[in-house]
Structure 1
Amino acid sequence: MERNARNGRECWLLVGGRRRLGRALAEDLARDHDLVLTSSEPWEGESWVGDLSKTGWSRTLQWDAENPNLVSRMMADLDTLEGEGRVISGAVILAGTFPEQPLGSWTRGTLEATWRMNLSFPFLCAQALGPRLVEGACLQLLLDTSIHNPWLKRLPYSAAKAGLAALVPGLAQLLAPKVRVVGHALGAVLPDAGSDPSFLADRTLLKRIGEPADLFRAVRFAADSSFLTGEILTQDGGRRWL
C-alpha cells in the first residue's frame, strides 16, 4: 500500500471523529497514523485534537449532513488534501445519531432527519471517499447490532443501519479490486446517559458490554486483512443469539 510520502505514516480519514467512539478511535490511531477528522460542528475549543499532533499530523474538517452544498464541500476538501500531497490510505465512517422513535411518533420530518444522518450522509461520504482512496485501502463503516435484531423503539434508526449493511457488499463490488469495504456491527460499547449497563450486559452471551478497544482491534484487523472485503464483522457479545 502506498503511504504518505511526508513521514512514512499512513493517513486515515475519520468521518464523525469528534465525539465518543469517534474520538476514542482517533486517539488510538494517532499513535501510528496521520489523521483527518470530520465533524458536523466547528472544531473550536476541542483542545484534545491539538494533542494528536504531538505524535503526528492531523487536520480537521467540517462536513455537515444538513449542508445543501455538502457534496461540493467534500470534493473541495479532498482536492485540497490531494494538492497538499496527502494520500488517504484508509477511511472509517462513524457518523450517526441514535434517536428513540417509537411507533406512533413517526412523521415525515423526523424520519427524513434520521435517515439523512444515518443513511444518506454515510452513502454520500462513501461515494466521495471510495474513488479517492489509495490502492489497497480499506473503507470501513460503523453499523450496529440492530441489523440483526432491530431496536423496536428505534426502528427508523435500525432501518437506516440495515441500509448501510446493504451498502457494504455492494460498494465492495463497485470499488474492487482497488479498495476493500468492511462493516462493523457493534453492540453496546458506550451506553447513553441513563442506560443501564448491567441490563445491556445481561442481554449478551458474554454478560458484558463492549469496550472501545474492541472496535480498535477490529478496525486495525480489517485494514491489515488484504483478502477481506464485502463482509460485516459483528461484535455484540452474542446478543443476537439470545
Structure 2
Amino acid sequence: MGPLWKNARMERISRNGRPCFVLVGGRQRLGRALAEDLARDHDLVLTSSGDWESETWVEELSKTARVRTLRWDAESPELVSRMMADLDGLAAEGWTVAGAILVAGTFPEQLLGSWEPEALAATWRLNLTFPFLCAQALASHLAEGACLQLLLDTSLHQPWLKRLPYSAAKAGLAALVPGLAQLLAPKIRVVGHALGAVLPAEARETAFLAERSLVKRIGDPSDLCRAVRYAAASPFLTGEILTLDGGRRWV
C-alpha cells in the first residue's frame, strides 16, 4: 500500500515526498508495530515516557525513514511546555504533521474495594489526562486535512469489571472523539479505534479470547495498522469510533 496522502492538497503537506506521522507511545508492542508499518512510506515522530537509547530497532527504521524520537512523560510537571516546545521545534525544522495517533496508556487491574485516590489518579492521568493534553498540543500543529486518531478499547461496549477505573478512563476518552471532531472541523478529522484483544499478556489467554469472538481469533497488530491507514486515507470519515474486536461484543 502506498502513502496515505494522495491528492494534490495532501502532497503539499509532505516532507521530501513523505508525509510525517506522530505516534504517541510508539516504543513498545502496538506502538512499535504501528511505527514499523508506517515507516514504509512515512517519516515518523515517536514519543515515549522513557529514554530511547536501548531501542535499537529505531535505527533500522532510520534506514528507510526520517525518524525523530521525543520523551513525553505523563508524570512530568513540565509535560505541556515540553510538548509545545518539541512541536514548535519540529515545525521550525520543516516537519509538517500529516497525521497522529495516540497509543500510550496502561491496563491495570483494580478490583472494587481496592480503589484509592492515588491509584485512581494515576490510572486516569495516563489513560485520560495524558491523551487529552497530547490531543490539545497536536491540534494546533496538524496540517490541513490531517487525521488525529485515538486508541480506545472495547471496554466501551463491555466494561472490564476488574478494570473499571481503566474502562471509565477510556469512556471519557471516547467522548473526546466527536467533541474534538466538531471543534477542529473542517481542517482536522478525528477518529477513534475501540480495539479488542491483541497481544495478550499471557499466551494461555489466546485460545480463550479467540473463542469469545465471531471470527474465532484474537486481533493482530496488522489489524490496527490497516484501520489506521483506512482512517487516515478516508477524507469523509470523522467523529467516529471504529470497533475492531472480531465481533466479540455480539457473542
Normalised by the length of structure 2, the TM-score is 0.95
Question: Which residue does the alignment assign to 1:4?
Answer: 14
Out of 31, 37, 51, the residue aligned to residue 28 of structure 1 is 37
1:102 aligns with 2:108: no
SS in 1 for 2:58: helix
Mind listing any 5+ residue stretches in structure 2 that lack a counterpart? 1-9
1:182 alignment partner in structure 2: 191
The amino acid across from 2:96 in the alignment is V
- Where do residues 214-233 of structure 1 align in structure 2 (5 Å cutoff)? 214-233=223-242
Runs (5+) with no aligned partner, structure 1: none
Q: In 2, distance between residues paired with 1:183 and 1:27?
A: 21
- Is 1:115–1:157's contact at 8 Å kept on the other side of the alignment? yes
Kept after mapping to 2: 8 A contact 1:31/1:55: yes
2:214, 2:111 → 1: CA distance? 27
Partner of 1:128: 137
1:156 aligns with 2:162: no
CA contact (8 A) 1:93 1:141 kept: yes
**After superposition, what is the alpha-carbon deviation per residue over 1:97-140, rounded to whole angstroms, capped at 9, x for unaligned?**
00000111110000000000000000000000012100000000
Distance 2:72 2:203 in 1: 29
Secondary structure of 2:145's partner?
Answer: coil
Looking at structure 2, the residues matched to 212 and 3 of structure 1 have their Cα atoms a distance apart, in angstroms, of 27
Contact 1:131 1:175 in 2 (8 A): no
Query: TM-score when scaled to structure 1?
Result: 0.98
Question: RMSD of the TM alignment (CA)?
Answer: 0.8
1:202-232 CA deviation, whole Å, 9 max, x = no partner?
1111111011110010000000000000000
Please list the CA deviations of residues 15-47 of structure 1 after superposition, one character each: whole Å capped at 9, or x if unmatched. 000000000000000000000000000111110
Runs of 4+, deviation exceeding 2 Å? 2-5
The 2-side partners of 1:71 and 1:215 are apart by 28
Percent identical? 74
Hey, what does 2:5 align to over in structure 1?
A: none
**Which among 112, 115, 118 is matched to residue 121 of structure 2?**
112
Instruction: Tell me which amino acid in the other structure corresponds to 1:3.
Output: I
Give the Cα–Cα distance (whole angstroms) in 2 for the partners of residues 174 and 3 of structure 1: 22
1:186-197 to 2 correspondence within 5 Å? 186-193=195-202, 196-197=205-206
Total equivalences in the alignment:
241
Distance 1:168 1:99 in 2: 23
Other structure's SS at 1:191 match:
coil
Give the deviation of 1:3 after TM superposition.
2.4
Aligned residue runs from structure 1 range 208-219, under 5 A: 208-219=217-228
SS, match of residue 152 in structure 1: coil
Q: Find 2:100's aligned residue among 91, 96, 102.
A: 91
